[in-house]
Amino acid sequence: MKKAAGTLDALFQADLRGKIAHWSAAAEHLTGFDGNEAKGRGWIELLDARDRSGRHARETAGGPGGPLKARGKDGRPFWIVPVMLAVRGSKPEAGLPFLLPGDTTKPAPAGQTERVSRRGGFKIPLSPREIEVLRLLADGSATNKVGERLFISVTTVRNHVQAILRKLQLHSKLEAVVYAYRNKIV
pLDDT tens for residues 75-99? 888 777 666 555 555 555 555 666 5
Residue 146 to residue 60: CA distance in whole angstroms:
28
**CATH code at position 139:** 1.10.10.10
Residue 104 confidence (pLDDT): 41
Looking at the domain assignment, is residue 158 inside a domain? yes
Looking at the domain assignment, is residue 138 inside a domain? yes
Residue 153, classified by CB atoms within 10 Å of its CB into exposed (0-12), middle (13-18) or buried (19+), is exposed
Of 103, 80, 87, 91, nearest to 3 by C-alpha is 87
Of 27, 101, 116, nearest to 67 by C-alpha is 101
**CATH code at position 90:** 3.30.450.20
Do 57 and 129 reside in the same domain of the chain? no
Range of the domain at 35: 4-100
- Picking from 42, 73, 100, the residue at the C-terminal end of a domain is 100
Residue 108 confidence (pLDDT): 39
- Alpha helices by DSSP H, 32-152: 35-38, 43-47, 128-138, 143-150
Residue 155 confidence (pLDDT): 94
The stretches in the chain having pLDDT less than 70 are 1-9, 58-66, 81-124
- Picking from 100, 126, 157, the residue at the C-terminal end of a domain is 100
Do 27 and 80 reside in the same domain of the chain? yes
Do 74 and 122 reside in the same domain of the chain? no
Do 39 and 86 reside in the same domain of the chain? yes
Residue 74 confidence (pLDDT): 92
Q: What angle do CA 100, 63, 168 make, to 5 degrees?
A: 30
Do 130 and 159 reside in the same domain of the chain? yes
Looking at the domain assignment, is residue 110 inside a domain? no
- Picking from 66, 100, 134, the residue at the C-terminal end of a domain is 100
The H or E element that residue 154 is part of is helix 154-168
Cβ atoms 110, 68 nearer than 8 A: no
Residue 64 confidence (pLDDT): 46
Residue 53 confidence (pLDDT): 78
Looking at the domain assignment, is residue 79 inside a domain? yes
Using the Cα atoms of residue 72, residue 169, residue 121 and residue 82 in order, give the sign of their dihedral.
negative
How many domains are there within the chain? 2
Residue 123 confidence (pLDDT): 59
